[in-house]
C-alpha cells in the first residue's frame, strides 16, 4: 500500500494543473479578499481595534479550513483517471491487493490534503506578518496543525464518498468546479453567516467543513479578538462572533468546541463507512 501511495503522490504532484485547481478556491478567496472583501468588512466594524488585522486572521482561518476539502478532492482525480482509462485493471492483475489499492488512493489523498493545508498555513502566516500582524505562538501552531489533520480526515472521507459515484473525468471535473465555487459560501467566507437568511444559515451549519472553520477561527483569532474587543460591550462581542461564524448557535445555545470536534470525527467515521459500502457494492 505504501508503494502504491507513493505512486499516486508522484502522479498528482507531477500534474501541475491538478495542484493548481486543488488550490483554485483558495486563490479565488485570496483575490476577492485583497481586491474587495478586505476593506469592505474592515470598515464595517465600529469600535473594533485594528479591524484589518482582525479580519486578516478571520479570512486566513477560513482558507485553512477549506483547503483540506478541495485538496483531497483534487487528489482523488488520480483514482478517477485510473478508473476511466481502465488503468486500475492492471493493478488488479498485479500482486497488490484490492485493499492496498483502495487504501493507497485514500492515504495519498489524505497526505495531499495535509501537505497543501500546511502550505496554506505558511502562506496565511506570511500574509499576516506582511500586513503587520504577529507570528503565532507554538501552542496555537500545534492546535492549527492538529485541526488540519482532523479536518483532512473528515474531508477525505466525505470526498471519497462523493467520488465513489463518478465514472468519468468530465463528471468529476464538473463536480470539482461546482464545489470549489460553492465552498466559500458554504463556510461563510464570501458572505459572513450572520448576514444570510435563516434557511441558508442552517445549510452552512450542516456542512461539516464549517465546523472546521469555526474552530480554526477561534484558535487563530483568540489573541486578536481579546485586543480588538477591548472597548466593546459583551453583547456586541457576542453579536460580532455570531455574525462572522466564530461561534455557532443551535436552538439558542452556543455550540462548544468539543461538540464541533465530535461532529468532525463522527462525520469522518460515518462517511468512511459509507464509502466502503458504496465501493464494495459496485465491485459486486
Residue 97 has pLDDT above 80, yes or no: no
Please give the model's pTM, rounded to 2 decimal places: 0.91
Which residue in this structure is represented by grid cell 461564524?
A: 245
Q: What is the DSSP string of 2-67?
A: HHHHHHHHHHHHH-HHHHHHHTHHHHHHHHHIIIIIHHHHHTT-TT-SSHHHHHHHHHHHHHHHHH
Question: Using one digit for the tens of pLDDT, what is the confidence trace for 19-69?
Answer: 888 888 888 888 888 777 767 777 777 777 878 888 889 999 999 999 999
Residue 76 has pLDDT above 80, yes or no: yes
Distance between CA atoms of 53 and 42, rounded to whole angstroms?
Answer: 9
Distance between CA atoms of 24 and 94, rounded to whole angstroms?
Answer: 36
Report domain extents, the chain. 2-283
Question: Using one digit for the tens of pLDDT, what is the confidence trace for 171-186?
Answer: 888 888 888 888 988 8
Amino acid at each position: 500500500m505504501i508503494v502504491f501511495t507513493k505512486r499516486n503522490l508522484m502522479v498528482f504532484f507531477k500534474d501541475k494543473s491538478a495542484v493548481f485547481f486543488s488550490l483554485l478556491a483558495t486563490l479565488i478567496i485570496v483575490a476577492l479578499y485583497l481586491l474587495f472583501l478586505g476593506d469592505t468588512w474592515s470598515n464595517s466594524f465600529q469600535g473594533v481595534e485594528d479591524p484589518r488585522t482582525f479580519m486578516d486572521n478571520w479570512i486566513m482561518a477560513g482558507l485553512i479550513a477549506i483547503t483540506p476539502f478541495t485538496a483531497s478532492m483534487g487528489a482523488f482525480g488520480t483514482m478517477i483517471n485510473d478508473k476511466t482509462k481502465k488503468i486500475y485493471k492492471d493493478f488488479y492483475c498485479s500482486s497488490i491487493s484490492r485493499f492496498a489499492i483502495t487504501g493507497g488512493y485514500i492515504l495519498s489523498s489524505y497526505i495531499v490534503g495535509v501537505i497543501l493545508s500546511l502550505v496554506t498555513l505558511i502562506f496565511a502566516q506570511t500574509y499576516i506578518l506582511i500586513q503587520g500582524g504577529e507570528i503565532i505562538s507554538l501552542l496555537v501552531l500545534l492546535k492549527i496543525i492538529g485541526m488540519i489533520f482532523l479536518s483532512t480526515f473528515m474531508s477525505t472521507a466525505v470526498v471519497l464518498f462523493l467520488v465513489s459515484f463518478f465514472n468519468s473525468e468530465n463528471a468529476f471535473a464538473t463536480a470539482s468546479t461546482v464545489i470549489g465555487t460553492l465552498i466559500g459560501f458554504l463556510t461563510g467566507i464570501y458572505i459572513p453567516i450572520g448576514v444570510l437568511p435563516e434557511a441558508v444559515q442552517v445549510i452552512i451549519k450542516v456542512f461539516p467543513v464549517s465546523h472546521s472553520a469555526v474552530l480554526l477561527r477561534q484558535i487563530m483569532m483568540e489573541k486578536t479578538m481579546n485586543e480588538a474587543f477591548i472597548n466593546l460591550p459583551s453583547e456586541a462581542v457576542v453579536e460580532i462572533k455570531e455574525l462572522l461564524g466564530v461561534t455557532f448557535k443551535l436552538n439558542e445555545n452556543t455550540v462548544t468546541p468539543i461538540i464541533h470536534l465530535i461532529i468532525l470525527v463522527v462525520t469522518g467515521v460515518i462517511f468512511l463507512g459509507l464509502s466502503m459500502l458504496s465501493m464494495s457494492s459496485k465491485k459486486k
